Amino acid sequence: MPFRDVLDRLPETRWPRLCLTLLCLLLWLPGFFSLPPGDRDESRFAQASRQMVESGDYVRIRYGEEERNKKPVGIHWAQAASVHVAEALGVGSRDQIWPYRVPSLLGALLGVLATFHWGRALVGRRAAFLAAAMLASCLVLVVETHIAKTDAALFATVAAAMGLLGRAYLSPGNFTGRQAAAFWLVMGLSILLKGPIGPMVVALAVVTLAISDRAGRWLKALRPAWGIPLMVLVVLPWFIAIGLATQGRFFAEAVGGDMLAKVNSGEEAHWGPPGYYILTFLIAAFPAAFLVLRGLPAAWRDRLNPGTRFLLAWLIPSWLVFEAVATKLPHYSLPMFPPLMLLGAAWAMDPLRRPAPAWLRWIGTFALVLGAAGLGLASAVLPYLADRRIDPFALLGIPAAALFLWGVLGQLRAGQPARAGLAAAILAIPLYAVAMQAVLPRLSAPWVSPRVAALLAQRAPGLPPSQFGIAGYHEPSLMFSTGTGTQLLRNGPAAAAFLAEAPGRFAAIGDRDLAAFQAEAQRLGLNLREEGAVEGYNYTRGRPIVLRLYRTAS
C-alpha cells in the first residue's frame, strides 16, 4: 500500500487507541532502558524514591541524609510502586533507572490517549487522531518519557482534567456525576504530583470561559459542592502526615523556597525573558510545530466556535502566566501542547481551510528543516565530539533525517498538510531511534557516575556504599549509581581524613581537589594506592573532569 494511502486511512482506523499506543512505543522505547541515569532532576527523584523503597517510609521525601521538601509525594509513590512491580516480576531492580521512568512513560501515553479521547468532541475524530500522533512525536515529550520526574505524569492529569472539563463545557446536560467525580479525583492526583500547577491551568481556563460565556450550566455540571471536598480528601491525608513528620518544614520550603523562587527569580540559572516559550516551541514541538503555526490564524478566526473557544481558553491564559514566571524551562509549557496540537490538526483536516500567511509557513518550514537536520547531524558527530571516535551507527542519523524531510516536505508540496503532520510523526521514529538508542547510551564521556560505579565494583566488589567517599563530583547520578550511603566529601583534605578513619575504605578524588588531598594524605602518613581513574565530561557544569580512585595500602 502506498505511503500516502496509509496516511489517509490511519485517522479512520478501527483501532485508533491501539495505533496511537504502538506509535508512542515506537517513538519512546529507544533508549528507555539503556540511557544511564541523568543529572540532575532525574537522579534526585529516583534516589528519593529508592530511599522510600529501602526505608519503607512513604511519607517523608529524602535525598541522602537531607529532606527534599520541594514537590509533593505523588511521583515518588508512582516510582516506588513501579519498582515493587518490576522486582516482583523479576524484570528489574531498584538499582536500575528504568523502573523509575515507567510512570513518565505511562503518563505521557495517558496524556496522548486523553488528547484523542476528549479531543474528538472538540475537533472531530480524524483531527483528534492527527493531534494525538503529532503530540506523541514532539521532542519535549519524547525526552520527558526518558526522565524519571513529574512532568510527563503532570501532563497526563492536565490532559485528562481539561478533557473532562471540555465535555462539561460542550454538553453540560450529559455530564454525569461519575464524570464529575473523575474530574475532581484527577485534580487531586495533579496536586499530589506538582502542587498547584495542574489546578492553575484548569482554573485559568474556567475563569476565562466564565467571563466570555457569563458562566452557566457547564460550571454547575462539575458539582463543585461535593467535588472540591472530594479533591481535598485525596490530598489532605498526606499533607497532614508530612506536616507532622517535618514539623511544618515541608510547606515552608516547598512554598517559600521552591515555588516562590521560581516565580520571582530564575532558579538554578533557568531564567528566560518573556517570549521564551514562543521561541523554544519551535524546537520543543518538533516535528509538529510547522503545522501548529499554520493553524493558529484560523483558530483565532474561529474563536466563536465553542470547541475552539475552549481550546483557546485552555491555551492562552496559562501560556501568559508561564511567560511571566521568571524560571523557565522548555518542558514547563507541556500542559498547553494538547490544545495547540488539536488546533493545528483541526486546520489541517478542514477541507475549506484558508492558507496560512506566508511568513508563518516559512518559519514553520525552517524550524522543521532545522530540527531534522540538527538531530541527524548531531547524532552523527556527537560520538566524535564526546569520545573522539566515529560510530557507524551514529552516521545513520543523516539518512534518517533525509528520509524524514523527503517524506514530510513532499506532502507539503502536494498541498496535504494533514498527511504531512502524520508523516512527520511516523518518520520521526528512525530519527529518534538513532539519537536515543544508537548514540546517547553508547557515549562514554557524559556518563561519569556509572563508570565510577563500575570501577568501584571491579576494584572493591561488595563494598558497602558507606565505605566509599567522593570529593569534587557530587552529581545526583553518583549516589544513585553507587548506592545510598555514599559519602559526599567536602574537599580533598576531608577525603584524606575519611580514608584515615577506618581501613578498607575507598575514595574518589576530582582533579581540582587532588593536590590538597595528596598533601593532607602525606601529612596524615597515609600510604595511598591508586586503583584507577575515570575521565569524562560533567555536562551540568560544562567542564571536563578526572576522578581518581584511591585506597590506603596495607
Which of the four pLDDT bands, split at 50, 70 and 90, describes residue 284?
very high
| Residue in 114, 104, 113 with CA at minimum distance from that of residue 142 | 104
- Could you tell me if residue 429 is inside a domain? no
Domain boundary among 315, 349, 383: 349
- Could you tell me if residue 230 is inside a domain? yes
DSSP 209-251: HHHHHT--HHHHTT-HHHHHHHHHHHHHHHHHHHHHHTTTHHH
In angstroms, rounded to a whole number, what is the distance separating the alpha carbons of residues 111 and 113? 6
Whole-number average pLDDT of the chain: 94
- Could you tell me if residue 176 is inside a domain? yes
Q: Which helix or strand (DSSP H or E) is residue 488 part of?
A: strand 487-489
- Do 419 and 411 touch, CB atoms closer than 8 A? yes
- Could you tell me if residue 376 is inside a domain? no
- Could you tell me if residue 413 is inside a domain? no
Residue 491 confidence (pLDDT) = 97
Residue 1 confidence (pLDDT) = 61
- C-alpha cell read off for 151: 512532568
pLDDT at 270 over 90: no
Residue 249 shares a structural domain with residue 118? yes
Residue 341 shares a structural domain with residue 452? no
Domain range holding 515? 448-552
- Residues 438, 429, 44, 534, Cα dihedral to 10°: 10
Domain count, the chain: 2
| Residue in 312, 425, 529 with CA at minimum distance from that of residue 28 | 425
- Could you tell me if residue 190 is inside a domain? yes
Residue 342 shares a structural domain with residue 475? no
In angstroms, rounded to a whole number, what is the distance separating the alpha carbons of residues 180 and 420? 37
- Could you tell me if residue 366 is inside a domain? no
| Residue in 80, 114, 308, 98 with CA at minimum distance from that of residue 198 | 114
Residue 120 shares a structural domain with residue 240? yes
Rg over CA atoms, the chain: 25
Residue 553 confidence (pLDDT) = 84
> b/e per residue, 410-448, with b = 16+ CB within 10 A?
ebbeeebbbbbbbbbbbbbbbbbbbbbbbbbebbbbbbb
- How does pLDDT run across 142-185, given as a tens digit for each residue? 999 999 999 999 999 999 999 999 999 999 999 999 999 999 99
In angstroms, rounded to a whole number, what is the distance separating the alpha carbons of residues 202 and 323? 17
Residue 345 shares a structural domain with residue 453? no
| Type of residue numbered 138 | C
Residue 179 shares a structural domain with residue 316? yes
- Could you tell me if residue 133 is inside a domain? yes
- C-alpha cell read off for 432: 529518534
